[in-house]
Structure 1
Amino acid sequence: MAMEHLRWRPTVNERDFIERALQSNLRVDDDRSFDFRRSLEFRPLNISFGREDGSSEVQLGETRVMGYVTAQLVQPYRDRPNEGTLAIFTELSPMADPSFEPGRPGESAIELARVIDRGLSESRAVDMESLCVVPGKYVWSLRVDLHILDNGGNLIDAANIAALAALSSFRRPECTIGGEDGQQVTVHDPKVRDPLPLTIHHLPIAVTFAYFGEDNIVVDPTCKEEAIMGGRMTVTVNSNGDVYAIEKAGEEGVMPSVIMKCLRIASDKAAYVTSKIKIAVENYATEKD
């Protein structure tokens, strides 16, 4: 993802140090002082929730992202009268990174939202038909807002986890249909009737790789590694190994053998992240009850 004019620029010595460490399968992360992690390890991942359903906060190393889900009744698209809708919006604030410009979403914010939206839509993880209230007339439209609080690198994976966690903890109001024509909708107050969780079939996990040369690849790059990487590839996959999207950025090409290796690694990482999300959601539900 392209970061603009104020992005960290490494000196020759800094670049040489990072590259030499990577060649030795070692990485230095700012958030863990001089503790090393391996090329295929994630930084520490923490998932928490706000007081309201559908509000999440994810910390991946020094990267922090907040997710928030809202819903409203709308008229469905004509070609999909029985399906609700889902849209992703991102906000990249200068408070999170000086390279982010205030105002309307820039190219980086649009690209980030597009990658996450594609993974969710291609996987059909959220049951859109379950969001239908009155076919052709009323469906639930879900909106996921992702706010970047701190940019420590690998925004895609952190934002994707925040979106999935927020969706997994969201509850929509219950509706009943009545009236003489049988199409009048009553939306019940959560205090009167318990809200309903979304139907989510599986979790499409984004796993991002940075590559440095032909064979040197790392998982979950920091912002300093992103500044010197030759390219980036994001694989969206679930814990069963089903691949839904592959996004590549950067000028360097990737060998087919490297892509296949990344797909195998991504499947293992997806199982790990899926487990973390599910445990966090279960703990949140238990504490709330």
Structure 2
Amino acid sequence: MVKSNDPSTNENEFLLSALKEQKRVDGRGVYDVRSIELAFGSDYGHVQVQLGRTRMSAKVTAEVVRPRQDKPTDGQLIFNTEISPMASPLFEAGSRSEQEVMISRLIEKSMRRSRAIDTEGLCIVAGEKVWQIRVDLHFLDHDGNLVDCASIAAITALLHFRRPDVTVVGEEVTIHPIDQRNPVPLSVHHIPISITFNFFDNGNLLVVDPSYLEEQVKEGDMTITMNIHKEICALSKAGGIPLEMDQVVRCSQIAQVKVSDISELIQKSLADDKAARKAK
């Protein structure tokens, strides 16, 4: 359950008058994304992402499980989100908010349905043993746009993760400890990145990467998940004002640029981490 903390009428009017002049309360331009910082933990698959003042951590773990009966050669990919009162007093402990459910579904849809991760490559013994990859997303600070922050954290953690190597001889399966044999990266086909837009003034005004205050004032929102190949992996618009088709096309063009920039940042951060680990 989310508690209400609506902005005052003065805050609303100030924000909208600034947007009409193509300005934002935090000093950004309407198409600007806040600064993104990525920090990796000592374990593979552990990453902390900061998007402006919105902060979260992602941790990927793997275990061997039986595959689903209808997909005997497919590994499993599951996502779990947790928004605690530590991230914002708006959230209550022990209850799963609508926002949390929406984020989980959107991340799952953009990763699984677009086949970003090769789940067949997670099969060890068909019908018997597969890897289950679990991504835990913990929100630490909420200052708006949890969806995009979660999207960046999830895919970065999956790219960074290494699972133990496996040897199969007949029916005997040996899982090699990481200190005995180099762990194996996941097979990632493409990198889906979510870009969220908020709309104001009957859809005439829009912003990219909304802050917390902008989210409270918005009249509608839309999230486009895309990769650098310009393929739309998911599009989410849950209620709010209706949008004209040219507005959707415009947003997709803006998303292309942002996705390219963020993908480049992720790849550079991963390369820097790899170099730092080799240097140790």
Query: Structure 1 length as normaliser, TM-score?
Result: 0.93
Alignment pair present for 1:249 and 2:247: no
Alignment pair present for 1:144 and 2:135: yes
| 2:13 alignment partner AA | D
Cα deviation, 1:64-109, whole Å, max 9, x if unaligned, reads 0100000001111122111111011000010111111101433221
Structure 1 distance, partners of 2:116, 2:68, is 19
1:22 maps to which residue? 19
1:232–1:249 contact (8 Å) kept in structure 2: yes
Match of 2:218 among 229, 232, 236: 229
Query: Quick one: percent identity of the two aligned structures?
Result: 40
SS of match in other structure, 1:157: helix
1:270 maps to which residue? 259
Alignment pair present for 1:206 and 2:203: no
| 2:71 alignment partner AA | R
Structure 2 distance, partners of 1:214, 1:278, is 34
Match of 1:218 among 200, 204, 207: 207
SS of match in other structure, 2:203: coil
1:96-135 to structure 2, matched below 5 A, reads 96-135=87-126
Match of 1:286 among 254, 268, 275: 275
Cα deviation, 1:16-54, whole Å, max 9, x if unaligned, reads 11001111111122xxxxxx1111110011111111100
| 1:46 alignment partner AA | E
Structure 1: gaps (5+ residues):
30-35
2:221–2:240 contact (8 Å) kept in structure 1: no
Match of 1:154 among 145, 163, 180: 145
Structure 2 distance, partners of 1:196, 1:108, is 34
2:165 maps to which residue? 174
Q: How many residues align?
A: 277
2:185 maps to which residue? 197
Structure 2 distance, partners of 1:124, 1:61, is 29
1:230–1:250 contact (8 Å) kept in structure 2: no
SS of match in other structure, 2:143: coil
State the superposition RMSD in angstroms.
Answer: 1.1
Cα deviation, 1:230-272, whole Å, max 9, x if unaligned, reads 0110001001110011001232111111111111111111101
Structure 2: gaps (5+ residues):
none
2:116–2:188 contact (8 Å) kept in structure 1: yes
2:151–2:194 contact (8 Å) kept in structure 1: yes
Match of 1:186 among 174, 179, 182: 174
2:198–2:221 contact (8 Å) kept in structure 1: yes
SS of match in other structure, 1:21: helix
SS of match in other structure, 2:237: strand
2:3–2:91 contact (8 Å) kept in structure 1: no
Q: 1:104 to 1:71 in 2, by over 3 A?
A: farther
Structure 1 distance, partners of 2:32, 2:13, is 21
